[in-house]
């Protein structure tokens, strides 16, 4: 199965309860080898950064086998609102 921004977005919503997901294919030729994601989920409340990243990595375990580079930013809804206000 081809890895797409939509696939990553859908998995984050379904498995982590994300309320906002930005996915950018950062591969030079958009070949789905490199992605940058922003995931906003209430499930991140009270969890340290490493645990949040592990949640995302677990959700995308199969996809990460084929992705060369994966950059992620994980925020709670409250953190997301504060960031948007800046």
* pLDDT at residue 32 greater than cutoff 90: no
Q: In CATH, what number does 5-85 get?
A: 3.30.300.90
Q: Could you read off the pLDDT of 41-63 as tens digits, one per residue?
A: 999 999 999 999 999 999 999 99
Cα–Cα dist 31/84, whole Å: 30
Compute the distance between CA of residue 8 and CA of residue 59 in angstroms, rounded to an integer.
Answer: 9
Q: What is the DSSP string of 19-76?
A: SEEEEEE-STT--SSEEEEEEE-GGGTT--HHHHHHHHHHHTHHHHTT-SEEEEEEE-
| Domain range list for the chain | 5-85
Confidence at residue 1, expressed as pLDDT on a 0 to 100 scale: 58
């Amino acid at each position: 199965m081809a890895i797409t921004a939509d696939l990553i977005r859908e998995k984050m919503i379904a498995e982590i309860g994300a309320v906002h997901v930005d996915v950018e294919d950062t591969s030079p030729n958009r070949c789905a080898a490199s992605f940058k994601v922003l995931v906003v989920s209430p499930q991140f409340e009270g969890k340290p950064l490493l645990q949040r990243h592990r949640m995302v990595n677990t959700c995308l375990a199969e996809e990460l086998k084929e992705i060369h580079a994966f950059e992620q930013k994980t925020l709670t809804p409250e953190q997301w609102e504060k960031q948007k206000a800046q």
